[in-house]
Amino acid sequence: MLCKRTYKNQITLPKKVMEKFDGVEYFEADIREGKIVLEPMKITSLNNTVLERSRKKVAALGLTEQDIQDAVDWARKK
């Protein structure tokens, strides 16, 4: 199927291609062996990730960046 690049460097994918990716809104674009490869991506909220839960716990404990740096320095001494 033919796709054309617009003057704004946008490519419209054919409807028949996109029908295979119902509900997918984001794609990761990569270049492999001189070809453009699009991989469907699921974007998730940070609200329930390990990182976000850790940030909330640190904030709830009232820890500062210096507290964390001191803890890292202490752990690395051993």
- On whether both 13 and 34 belong to a single domain, the answer is yes
Regarding whether 56 and 19 lie in a shared domain, the answer is no
Q: Are residues 4 and 22 in the same domain?
A: yes
Residues 19-44, mean pLDDT to the nearest whole number: 92
pLDDT for 36: 95
* pLDDT given for residue 46 in this prediction: 67
H helices of the chain, in order, are: 15-18, 50-61, 65-77
Q: Is the pLDDT of residue 20 over 80?
A: yes
Give the pLDDT of residue 53.
Answer: 84
Q: Say how many domains are in the chain.
A: 2
Q: Cα-flanking dihedrals φ and ψ of residue 62, to 5°?
A: 75, 25
Around Cβ 36, how many Cβ atoms within 10 Å?
10
Q: Are residues 73 and 54 in the same domain?
A: yes
**CATH number, domain containing residue 30:** 2.10.260
Structural domain harbouring 55: 46-77
